[in-house]
Copies of this chain bind each other. A is one copy, B any other.
Amino acid sequence: MENLQNIRIAVDAIVFGYKNNNLYVLLIEQKFGSADKYWALPGGLVKNDESLSDAVIRELHEETNVQLTFMEQLYTFGDDIYRDSRNRVISVAYYALVDASNLEIKADTDAEKVQWFKIDEIPALAFDHNLILKSAIARLKSKLTYEPIGFDLLPEEFLFSDLENLYCTILEKEIDRRNFRKKILSYGFLDQTEHFSPIKSGRPAKLFKFNDLKYNELIKKGFHFEIKFA
């Protein structure tokens, strides 16, 4: 009756990037057989002596060269026993963000292909990765409204209009530019730099910076970040 446990444990990463009014996800091409190619989330089996988060970092490092600005555990997928047809595998999924200015660097390590995909142009993925991705997008959307993680998707210094557009496109909502700016600025965790960005047209815009110290000060005082839309 007593049977040895024969379940593998893997980690998968959903890495989000943002550029030019588009949310991107990092996918790698997985080769099973000779003709059997599938895009999949980066990930792999956890080693015996490494922590879960270390495993994610290692896998990402092995397969890509992205520099994360944020990472958090998403969910553990283990209710579908046959999510991997070969073995019982439970996957602990992490989602992560990368700075938009680092988004162009694509690493094609060896034969493995790595590519950024627009969120609305995702192909059929391996395993239950479409499901996992869907869940990550939902979490990203939700988290964006109650924690200042949007800044992790932008370069160190950014335009207010970039932040606006980021919120608009990811949350798929209209927002009033002026009220949005007023609200964010009222929090007081943004520093205005002396730099201006190369302009395309219109009035030159100041660049802003997210100030972690100020943010943490506010948190200690009981501050609670929140962005709501109608």
Partner of A48, one of B5, B47, B52, B75: B5
0/1 interface trace, chain A 72-105, chain B, CB 8 Å (1 if under): 0101101111000000101010000000000000
**Residues of chain B within 8 A of A75, CB atoms compared:** 73
Chain A 28-49 residues near chain B, CB threshold 8 A: 45-49
Q: How many residues of A contact B (CB 8 A)?
A: 26
Chain A 14-71 residues near chain B, CB threshold 8 A: 45-54
**How far is it, in angstroms, between the C-alpha of A214 and the C-alpha of B5 when the chains are bound?**
44
Copies in the complex: 2
**Residues of chain B within 8 A of A50, CB atoms compared:** 81
Asked if A186 is an interface residue, CB under 8 A from chain B, the answer is: no
Partner of A52, one of B49, B51, B54, B78: B78
A96 CB, nearest partner CB in chain B, Å: 16
**How far is it, in angstroms, between the C-alpha of A54 and the C-alpha of B51 when the chains are bound?**
25
**Residues of chain B within 8 A of A81, CB atoms compared:** 49-51
Asked if A9 is an interface residue, CB under 8 A from chain B, the answer is: yes
Q: Using CB atoms, name the residue of chain B closest to A75.
A: B73
B92 contacts A79, C-beta separation under 8 Å: no
A88 contacts B48, C-beta separation under 8 Å: yes
> Would A51 and B73 be within 8 Å (CB), given that A5-B45, A9-B5, A46-B7 are in contact?
no
Asked if A141 is an interface residue, CB under 8 A from chain B, the answer is: no
Q: Using CB atoms, name the residue of chain B closest to A7.
A: B9
Binding site for B on A (CB under 8 A): 3, 5-9, 45-54, 73, 75-76, 78-81, 88, 90, 92
Q: Give 6 closest A-B pairs by Cβ, nearest first.
A: A52-B78, A51-B79, A76-B76, A76-B92, A6-B48, A7-B9
Task: Given contact pairs A5-B8, A49-B88, A51-B79, enumerate 18 new A-B contacts (beta carbons under 8 Å).
Answer: A3-B48, A5-B9, A6-B48, A7-B9, A7-B46, A7-B48, A9-B9, A9-B90, A48-B88, A49-B81, A50-B81, A51-B78, A52-B76, A52-B79, A52-B90, A73-B75, A76-B76, A76-B92
